[in-house]
Every structure is written in structure tokens, then in C-alpha cells.
Amino acid sequence: MNDGALRSLNHSARPAPGAERRERADRRRRPWWSVVYGSFNPRRRRPARRLDDSRFHPVDWYSAHLLAVSIGILLLSATDAFLTSYLLLHGADEVNPVMAVLVYRSIAMFAVVKMSITGASIMTMVFLSRYRFMRLVRVELVLYAALAVYIWLIGYELWMLKGSSDMQLL
């Protein structure tokens, strides 16, 4: 055999069993580089090729409108916490029994728990936005519904402030 053919056979051959095949630089040793690189060069924009497969298929690139909806929900949630505490200081009652336990003990704890629960819920719903809730409604639509409910709630709280003559906002 000539030397060129022998060299190409040697390069295309698989390594011997037990031989080290990995590169020297371990990509897992640079987690921040992976986050930055993956943010600008996403690989999984759609679920796996086999859509009939019922397993979970995560993606690492989400639509920009989900970011806008998420930020809107968080801002409205913070506004709701502020307006709720203001209304409570002026004689209103907390209707939510879970939050009532917290709000009457500590307003700060109420705000922390409210924002934590809201933030964790939003992150979960964005992560699962391509799936259906109970096989009926896309989770993305549930996010939009949460945004609409918060808009209605803020409107209601502002109406309560306007309707009461003894309560003035700030």
C-alpha cells in the first residue's frame, strides 16, 4: 500500500477500546462561557424531531414576547403588593387566606413571598410554554391570562382607591 492510503486509513480508523477520545479542554470547566455562548448561539429552538414522542423536550431559545409578558406580570405583581399594603393600612381586608396570614404578620415577608411565588411560577410557565396544560390549553396562553388578571386586579385596586374619599394614593 502507498503511504497516502495508509495515512488516511489510520486517521479514519476508530480509536482502540479504552483509548482517550476526549479533548484536553473540558467545556464544563467554564460555565459562564457556556451561558454567554449559549445565549447568543442557541441550539434547541424547537422540540425534538420526533414530535409524536411523549417525552419532555426542552428548548433553550424562547420567544421575545414571553419575556415581555413575564416582565409585565412581575411589574404588575409588585404594583399589586404595594397597592395591597397601602389599602390594608387604610382599612381594607386581605381576601386571599394564604396571603392574609403573611400580610398581617409582616408586610416585608408578604412582599418577598408574593414576588418569589410569582417569579418561580413565571419561570416554570415560560420553560413549559410550548406544552399544553391538561392537554387542553397551551401554557403560553395561561401566561397571557395571568397578565390579563393582574391588569384587572390593578384596575380594581385603583378603583377602590378612587372610590374611597378618605384614601389618597400617597
User: Mind listing the pLDDT tens digit for each residue in 63-112?
Assistant: 788 999 999 999 999 999 999 989 888 888 888 888 888 888 888 899 99
pLDDT of residue 144 exceeding 60, the answer is yes
Give the mean model confidence (pLDDT) for residues 14-35: 65
128 against 141, higher pLDDT: 141
Name 87's Cβ contacts closer than 8 Å, sequence gap at least 6.
157, 160, 161, 167
Using the predicted structure, report yes or no on whether residue 150 has a pLDDT greater than 90.
yes
pLDDT at 50: 53
Q: How far is CA 94 from CA 38, 68, 81, 83, in A?
A: 44, 29, 11, 11
Instruction: Check pLDDT > 70 for residue 47.
Output: no
Secondary structure letter of residue 14 according to DSSP: P
Q: Is the pLDDT of residue 116 over 80?
A: yes
Q: Binning pLDDT at 50, 70 and 90, where does residue 36 land?
A: confident
**What is the pLDDT of the chain when averaged over all its residues?**
78
Looking up cell 397578565, which residue turns up?
147
Q: What sign does the CA torsion over 99, 100, 101, 106 have?
A: positive
Q: Where are the domains of the chain?
A: 63-170
